[in-house]
């Protein structure tokens, strides 16, 4: 159980996920948080990570640092996605063990599952089939992180756990048109098209894939719940049962999502689909039986979450 004065290191605190952890922990009275910017600590640099852990000695680690992006970014920079993510997680997981961290939470992704997994996707489907080619390097890195946590628990008796969130969105997201995920990209497209008075937005793919979306604030609550309530037994670890899916158990087509965002933004024009662009995995809906049995469920519904995200964009990002 993390105490209010526990020394907690949030790796990647400027990103969508890390910043949400900082907001929640600060709001709930956790007063001994450790953060470092990229300029202060390059997590790819093993020597600097070694020195950081030796000096700070965090009790708990939340590994939210990662190189992330949408289909275009994954397709364009596959070497960076696999190298950067492997280096970051190798360094943090290993030096958490060396410095006797009490507990570590590794943030994975639902893309670790096979492209054609049965739906909804259970945790046990990991490594049961081929991955989606457009994000395979990223997925392999994340799978390695899960197995690394399991292996360190097995060999060294550490308490390292992992979560596989579905597609995340919310405050402090990346709204760039090239490297972003679908919700922030569409929010920006609809907003900017509305501002210039144009009547058409071009969206990628066919719009037919189904996706599940979880607001990042809900994800944080789920992660803290697991940090305080789940410690894998030896049997669970040996079976690889150290990670949980996090999501809403609800999905929408990208076309349906686009209509929701269009209405929230107030864009009155039409949506055209560029079918020359890739769709990615046909469906990714997570089975949440394990986390629901423990007692956690999401609270923020998709339309409400998109309204919150658009308001944050208006207040913080558009200029």
Q: How many structural domains comprise the chain? A: 1
**Higher-pLDDT residue of 317, 275:** 275
Find the CATH number of the domain harbouring 27. 3.40.50.720
pLDDT for position 48: 98
Residue 231: closest CA among 158, 148, 123, 154? 158
Long-range Cβ pairs for the range 19-22 (8 Å, 24+): 19/171, 19/172, 20/170, 20/171, 20/172, 20/216, 20/217, 20/219, 20/220, 21/62, 21/64, 21/220, 21/223
pTM above the 0.95 mark? no
163 three-state secondary structure: strand
pLDDT-derived band at 319, boundaries 50, 70, 90: low
In a domain, residue 13? The reply is yes
Asked if pLDDT for residue 271 goes beyond 90, the answer is yes
State how far the alpha carbon of 185 is from the alpha carbons of 57, 71, 97, 267, in Å: 38, 12, 38, 14
In a domain, residue 319? The reply is no
> Which percentage of the chain shows pLDDT scores above 70?
98
In a domain, residue 225? The reply is yes
Asked if pLDDT for residue 318 goes beyond 80, the answer is no
Q: Which domain holds residue 234?
A: 8-172+213-249+285-300
pLDDT for position 168: 95
Residue pLDDT, tens place only, 220-256: 999 999 999 999 999 999 999 999 999 999 999 999 9
Could you tell me the end-to-end alpha-carbon distance of the chain, in angstroms, rounded to an integer? 41
In a domain, residue 112? The reply is yes
pLDDT for position 204: 87
To 10 degrees, the CA torsion angle through 136, 138, 139, 142?
Answer: 160
In a domain, residue 193? The reply is no
Q: Mean pLDDT in the chain?
A: 95
State the average pLDDT over residues 88-93. Answer: 98
Q: What is the DSSP letter of 130?
A: P
Q: For the chain, percent helix, then strand, then coil, each to nearest 5? A: 45, 15, 40
Asked if pLDDT for residue 278 goes beyond 90, the answer is no
In a domain, residue 189? The reply is no
State the average pLDDT over residues 87-94. Answer: 98
Q: Looking at the annotation, which residues are catalytic?
A: 138
Q: In angstroms, rounded to a whole number, what is the distance separating the alpha carbons of residues 307 and 170?
A: 10
In a domain, residue 198? The reply is no
User: Rounded to 5 degrees, what angle do the CA atoms 290, 295, 296 make?
Assistant: 85
pLDDT for position 73: 79
State the average pLDDT over residues 295-308. Answer: 98
Residue pLDDT, tens place only, 155-200: 999 999 999 999 999 999 989 876 678 999 999 999 999 999 999 9
In a domain, residue 233? The reply is yes
């Amino acid at each position: 159980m993390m105490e209010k004065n526990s020394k907690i290191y949030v790796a990647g605190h400027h990103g969508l996920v890390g910043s949400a952890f900082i907001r929640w922990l600060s709001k709930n009275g956790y007063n001994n948080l450790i953060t470092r910017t990229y300029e202060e600590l390059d997590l790819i640099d093993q020597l600097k990570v070694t020195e950081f852990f030796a000096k700070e000695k965090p009790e708990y680690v939340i590994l939210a640092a990662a190189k992330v992006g949408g289909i275009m970014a994954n397709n364009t920079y596959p070497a960076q996605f696999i190298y950067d993510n492997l280096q970051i997680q190798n360094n943090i997981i290993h030096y958490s063990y060396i410095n006797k961290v009490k507990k570590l939470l590794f943030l994975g992704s639902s893309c670790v599952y096979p492209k054609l997994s049965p739906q909804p996707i259970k945790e046990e489907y990991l490594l049961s089939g081929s991955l989606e080619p457009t994000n395979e390097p990223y997925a392999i890195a994340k799978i390695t992180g899960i197995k690394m946590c399991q292996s360190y628990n097995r060999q060294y008796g550490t308490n390292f756990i992992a979560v596989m969130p579905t597609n995340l969105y919310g405050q402090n997201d990346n709204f760039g048109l090239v490297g972003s995920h679908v919700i922030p990209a569409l929010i920006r497209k609809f907003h900017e098209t509305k501002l210039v008075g144009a009547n058409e937005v071009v969206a990628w793919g066919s719009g037919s894939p189904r996706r599940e979306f979880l607001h990042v604030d809900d994800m944080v609550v789920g992660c803290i719940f697991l940090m305080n309530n789940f410690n894998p037994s030896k049997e669970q670890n040996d079976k690889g049962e150290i990670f949980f899916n996090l999501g809403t158990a609800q999905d929408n087509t990208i076309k349906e999502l686009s209509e929701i965002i269009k209405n929230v933004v107030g864009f009155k024009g039409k949506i055209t689909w560029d079918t020359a662009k890739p769709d990615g995995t046909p469906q990714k809906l997570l089975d949440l039986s394990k986390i629901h049995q423990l007692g956690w469920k999401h609270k923020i519904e998709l339309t409400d979450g998109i309204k919150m995200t658009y308001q944050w964009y208006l207040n913080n990002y558009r200029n």
